[in-house]
Amino acid sequence: MKTVLMLLTCFVFMSGCHAQHDSMDATLWVQTSAEYQGNSEMVFNVAESRLSLLRDKQGVTADIDQAKSFGCLAGVSCPGLAAAGLIPAVVLDIDETVLDNSAFLARLIKNGGQWQPDSWDDWVAERAAVPVPGALAFVERAKAEGVAVIYMTNRRCSVREAGNELSLKQPCPQKLDTLENLASAGFPPLVPVDLLILRGERPEWDRAEKQTRRQYVAERYRIMMLIGDDLGDLASNIKKSSVEERARFVSAHEFLLGNYWFQLTNPTYGSWKSALKGKPAQDYLRLD
């Protein structure tokens, strides 16, 4: 009887009985909603309004670990940090922060596929991602303010077995791809004070956790602002935490949000999904 009812339902609603792809609604929201556009523009507008102020706050860092290394707290004036004379910098994630990869997700949905490292690397090699709303104007303004722009991405360096001759000779062709994609999307070229840091460029950087890479940056730069679409773009050792732990962490660092930390919305993927693996997803639904 259940089978008959299901077939009748499929016939009536002409759904073809194909299950909707897990990322369909989230990808449609990113690609079509004015709300997504407005949210991204808002985050970058607020961040842009803080640039000159944070640049001149020579004793303040947005990075918790950098602050600890000077015996201070993030977002609080620190004499030792001011005396260090570090270069002021904004640290930005790339994917779903400055580059929109929703076309890649849309292809997976159309083809009934799931994310795979090889298909993702093929997409990176296309260099076809477009700017996230508001990101281009923000980066241009940061550079105009004399602030170093540091891109820190979990795009992984890996040798390719196929591709053009130049790509095959590169130990990290993904870095060249990313530089070219940023350029084709209209972002200003990197100058010596800027950085692009990929996962796995060094052996100690071969983790999705960005702590070691931020520590490397913190040796030379004062991290005045952090921008990303994942909580792990803003802080260390939080990506694998539980839903409850992550909520407590955000509450404890509320002051940094919108002042030193700037979080974009990404409903398609991220460590927030990993946090749901402790029990069935439906068990997390709040009913009251």
**Domains of the chain (ranges, CATH numbers):** 23-266 (3.40.50.1000)
Q: Which two tokens stand for residue 92?
A: 């930005």
Q: Locate tokens 């556009």: which residue?
A: 37
Task: Please give the pLDDT value at position 88.
Answer: 98
Residues 36, 34: Cα–Cα separation, whole Å: 5
Q: CA-CA distance, 159 to 74, in Å (whole number)? A: 38
Find the DSSP H helices in 34-172: 34-56, 64-69, 79-84, 102-111, 117-126, 135-144, 165-168
pLDDT of residue 115: 87
- Evaluated on CA atoms 38, 61, 150, 56, the torsion sign reads positive
Contacts of 26 (CB under 8 A, 6+ apart): 267, 268
What's residue 79's pLDDT? 97
Contacts of 50 (CB under 8 A, 6+ apart): 225, 259, 260
Q: In this structure, which amino acid lies at residue 93?
A: D
Q: Structure pTM?
A: 0.90
In the chain, which stretches have pLDDT less than 70? 1-19, 162-169
Distance, CA of 262 to CA of 227 (rounded, Å): 5
Beta strands in the chain (DSSP E): 87-92, 99-100, 130-131, 148-156, 195-199, 221-228, 261-263
Question: Packing angle between helix 102-111 and helix 117-126, nearest 10 degrees?
Answer: 130
**What's the pLDDT score for residue 17?**
39
Question: For the segment 97-115, what is each residue's pLDDT rounded down to a tens digit?
Answer: 999 999 999 999 999 888 8
Listed in sequence order, the residues at least 6 apart from 103 whose beta carbon sits closer than 8 Å to its beta carbon are 128, 129, 130
Predicted local distance difference test score (pLDDT) of residue 6 = 39
